[in-house]
């Protein structure tokens, strides 16, 4: 008999709908292959559900805050049941864009320049800091969100308009804007799985470009890079995966500009929806969706 798998999806982050889609896709594929599957929300009933269902592995299909930032991982550690993807520390470090970028820089991984902003300066002061450290255009983003939620590319004219939209956060990141090609790399344990290039019809690969089929983002695989550059970007992604202590699958987001790779961030729980990139990269490399999921489940068992 195949294993009993509890899938946790949904949650309360801004990526709830994507998490539900990931959970549904994973559940459908596992059920098709005779696994005993149950889906639940990460709410106050979770402990009782785990106790009653007695899963052999927990598949963490959550995205965003409370799901991939170390919070749910801390809770899952108390059950002594293998769970998928990265653990507490790696998840927390990867989700916090300031911490992860500092770790990248310390380890000589190129990443866009940035400043942290706490809504504590006058407009004039802030503009002076940006002109001195970054230059326009810049990227505004929350420090701890995923899926490009509330990310804006700004010039001087629309900067304060977009900045106002982010005052729901205590702190945000103002980042140097790097033009160029958008390339994503999938890492699978210690293996460099592959890469894919994205050509969004929108301004950049934002939430709509990622999850709205009508956004018509072009997916290019294989990526048109020299062998040397292809190996280089894969090696950077694996290095980032390792220095953060990640487990399982990760997806690293890069910009390629003037023959340099800039690592924007690393995602410890990539989506598994019909539009998600890791399953697409895996399929190109000859790994079916069920084989990808089974590898993730076996990796959870092996690592804990």
> Which residues are known catalytic residues?
15, 147, 211, 251, 253, 265, 267, 271
| Cα(70)–Cα(100) distance, integer angstroms | 14
Q: How far, rounded to the nearest angstrom, does the alpha carbon of residue 76 sit from its chain's CA centroid? A: 20
Residue 32, Cβ density class (10 Å: 0-12 exposed, 13-18 middle, ≥19 buried): exposed
Task: Extract the tokens encoding 200.
Answer: 């969004």
| Cα(97)–Cα(300) distance, integer angstroms | 25
Nearest to 265 by CA among 299, 236, 301, 223: 236
Supply angle C-alpha 237, 280, 92, rounded to 5. Answer: 40
Question: What is the side-by-side order of every strand in the sheet holding 36-40?
Answer: 36-40, 4-8, 57-60
217, 200 Cβ separation under 8 angstroms: yes
| Cα(245)–Cα(249) distance, integer angstroms | 12
């Amino acid at each position: 008999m195949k294993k009993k798998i509890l899938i946790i999806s949904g949650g309360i982050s801004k990526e709830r709908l994507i998490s539900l889609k990931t959970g549904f896709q994973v559940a459908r594929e596992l059920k098709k292959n005779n696994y005993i599957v149950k889906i639940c929300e990460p709410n106050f009933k979770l402990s009782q559900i785990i106790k009653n269902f007695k899963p052999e592995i927990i598949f963490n299909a959550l995205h965003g805050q409370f799901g991939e930032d170390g919070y749910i991982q801390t809770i899952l550690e108390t059950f002594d049941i293998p769970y998928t993807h990265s653990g507490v520390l790696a998840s927390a470090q990867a989700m916090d864009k300031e911490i992860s970028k500092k770790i990248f820089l310390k380890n000589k991984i190129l990443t866009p320049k940035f400043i942290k902003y706490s809504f504590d300066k006058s407009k004039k002061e802030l503009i002076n800091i940006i002109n001195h450290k970054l230059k326009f255009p810049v990227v505004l983003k929350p420090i701890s969100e995923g899926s490009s939620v509330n990310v804006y590319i700004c010039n001087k004219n629309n900067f304060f308009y977009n900045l106002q939209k982010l005052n729901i956060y205590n702190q945000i990141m103002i980042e140097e804007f790097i033009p160029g090609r958008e390339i994503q790399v999938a890492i699978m344990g210690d293996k460099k799985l592959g890469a894919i290039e994205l050509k969004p019809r929108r301004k950049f690969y934002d939430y709509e470009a990622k999850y709205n089929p009508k956004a018509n983002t072009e997916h290019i695989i294989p990526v048109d890079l020299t062998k040397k550059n292809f190996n280089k970007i894969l090696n950077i992604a694996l290095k980032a995966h390792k220095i953060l202590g990640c487990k399982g699958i990760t997806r690293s987001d890069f910009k390629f500009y003037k023959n340099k790779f800039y690592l924007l961030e690393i995602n410890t729980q990539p989506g598994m929806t019909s539009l998600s990139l890791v399953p697409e990269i895996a399929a190109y490399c000859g790994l079916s969706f069920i084989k990808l999921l089974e590898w993730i489940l076996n990796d959870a068992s092996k690592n804990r």
